[in-house]
Amino acid sequence: MFTMAQHSTFDIQPSKNPVSDEERKKILDAPGFGQYFTDHMVVIDYEQGKGWHNHRVVPYSEFSVNPANMVLHYGQAIFEGLKAYRHSDGSIVTFRPEANAERFQNSAARMAMPKLSKEDFVDSIRELVKIDAAWVPKAGGEECLYLRPFMFATENGLGVHPAHKFTYVLIASPAGAYFSGGIEPVTVWVSHEYVRACPGGTGAAKFAGNYAASLAAQEAADKEGCDQVLWLDAIERENIEEMGGMNVMFVERDGDDVTIITPALSGSLLPGITRDSLKTVAKDLGYSVDERVITMKELEERVGTGEITEAFACGTAAVINPIGTFKSRDGEFTVNNCESGEITMKMRSTLTGIQHGELPDTHDWLATLVD
Ligand code: PLP
Ligand code: COI
């Protein structure tokens, strides 16, 4: 049955003391990642029996938290990540927001949280980007506006049960390269000590606790001089899953034949929207795509024989970043002499070309937010 989309009205309360033009320009010249926030945020409340209500755009500000707030104790909290890009004609677009809306719903279902409608999710993005359009960096560079939708329990009480009250919030942060070294090949630490997710667990949800659980391993990676953790599966401790905040892909090359190998969605790794998009980009570029189990042993052996020629991380924040070195308790090996690979960079320029409006959007992935 065809159902009409339900759009809500957002109450707009503009900030009385936005960041000055001069200060904002300084920030946009070197935004880093996740350090500065725009003048406004979107907030929507949920209460069981009443549903989602009080849709509003308000000045960016702090929340006050009751010490018995259930999220502080039992951790019902999920989030998303996507970006807004300015095109050379001044318009602002985002990339596949409905896919993020759907994953947000799936994460909510896994964490016994209410689903926010896709319309509310996408409309919240439209409202925030409209009012904070001056925060979207200029066209022609890598910089864009990172959007962070999230939802958390707001009921107070210590009984262990799904909360009956939640808050959805959208904040935005101008962003440059995710890794401090820019788009240089990174070193990953293959974690044998810890696991990120297990069958039946929460790994496929964008659940805050997954990230909390990853931090001890990230500290271990830091101590080893590595940029990120590469996670293995919980059972065999051999199958490659993903990185702390990115999926992974490998390039297999035999003359002109190129195959992109990526770990199959096992139920414990996050179904990345960049990963999904790159499967299509790869096919458009004439490459084959092989989603399957790939072990550390296979990776090391076939990097050694020269069959696997490149490795890269992919995700919204990181875009595509080459991986140069794999390090673990068993030693280390490098891929492509620790240099950015040709296929990796071709995939990157194609994806970012579409996102930044420099290549045709043949798959209808872009949604215009501001004309
Ligand atoms: N895996 C994890 C654990 C992530 O946090 C992310 C980032 O969102 C990804 C993969 C990549 O997902 P996406 O491409 O949708 O950003
Ligand atoms: C993203 O790419 O949007 C992420 O959420 C990754 C990380 C910053 C947690």
Identify the CA nearest to 342 among candidates 325, 360, 322, 328.
Answer: 322
> Is 270:202 a contact under the CB 8 Å cutoff?
no
Q: How far is the CA of 65 from the centre of ligand 1 (A)?
A: 28
Task: Look up residue 44 and give its amino acid.
Answer: I
Q: Closest ligand to 273 CA?
A: 1
Ligand 1 binding pocket includes 149 (Cβ within 6 Å)? no
Phi-psi label, residue 324: left if phi above 0, alpha if psi -120 to 50, beta otherwise: alpha
Alpha-carbon torsion, ordered 85, 87, 90, 96, to 10 deg? -50
All CATH 3.20.10.10 domain ranges of the chain, comma separated, are 186-340
Residue 105 host element (H or E): helix 97-110
All CATH 3.30.470.10 domain ranges of the chain, comma separated, are 2-176+357-370
Ligand 1 binding pocket includes 203 (Cβ within 6 Å)? no
Identify the CA nearest to 304 among candidates 264, 342, 331.
Answer: 331
Atom of ligand 2 nearest to the CA of 148: 3
DSSP letter, residue 181: T
> Is 309:252 a contact under the CB 8 Å cutoff?
yes
Distance, CA of 368 to CA of 36 (rounded, Å)? 24
Ligand 1 binding pocket includes 40 (Cβ within 6 Å)? no
Atom of ligand 2 nearest to the CA of 316: 2
CATH of segment(s) 2-176+357-370: 3.30.470.10
Q: Closest ligand to 243 CA?
A: 1
Atom of ligand 1 nearest to the CA of 82: 16
Half-sphere exposure of 182 (CA within 13 A, CB side): 5
Question: 82-86 and 144-153: which strand pairing?
Answer: antiparallel
What integer pLDDT is reported at residue 4 of this predicted model? 63
- Out of 83, 173, 246, 351, mutate this one to test ligand 2's pocket (max ligand atoms within 8 Å of CB): namely 246
Distance, CA of 186 to CA of 184 (rounded, Å)? 6
Tell me the pTM.
0.97
What integer pLDDT is reported at residue 334 of this predicted model? 98
What integer pLDDT is reported at residue 183 of this predicted model? 85
Q: Closest ligand to 247 CA?
A: 1
- Out of 316, 321, 351, mutate this one to test ligand 2's pocket (max ligand atoms within 8 Å of CB): namely 316
The domain made up of 186-340 has a fold known as D-amino Acid Aminotransferase; Chain A, domain 2 (3.20.10)
Q: Could you count the other beta carbons within 10 Å of the beta carbon of residue 205?
A: 22
How do the residues of the chain divide into helix, strand and coil, expressed in percent and rounded to 5?
25, 30, 40
What integer pLDDT is reported at residue 2 of this predicted model? 55
Ligand 2, atom 7: nearest CA belongs to which residue?
A: 245
Burial of 223 (0-12, 13-18, 19+ CB in 10 A): exposed
Per-residue pLDDT of the chain (371 residues; tens, 9 = 90+): 555 678 999 999 999 999 999 999 999 999 999 999 999 999 999 999 999 999 999 999 999 999 999 999 999 999 999 999 999 999 999 999 999 999 999 999 999 999 999 999 999 999 999 999 999 999 998 899 999 999 999 999 999 999 999 999 999 999 998 887 778 999 999 999 999 999 999 999 999 999 999 999 999 999 999 999 999 999 999 999 999 899 999 999 999 999 999 999 989 999 999 999 999 999 999 999 999 999 999 999 999 999 999 999 999 999 999 999 999 999 999 999 999 999 999 999 999 999 999 999 999 999 999 99
Identify the CA nearest to 280 among candidates 195, 184, 362.
Answer: 362
Q: Could you count the other beta carbons within 10 Å of the beta carbon of residue 371?
A: 7
Ligand 1 binding pocket includes 315 (Cβ within 6 Å)? yes
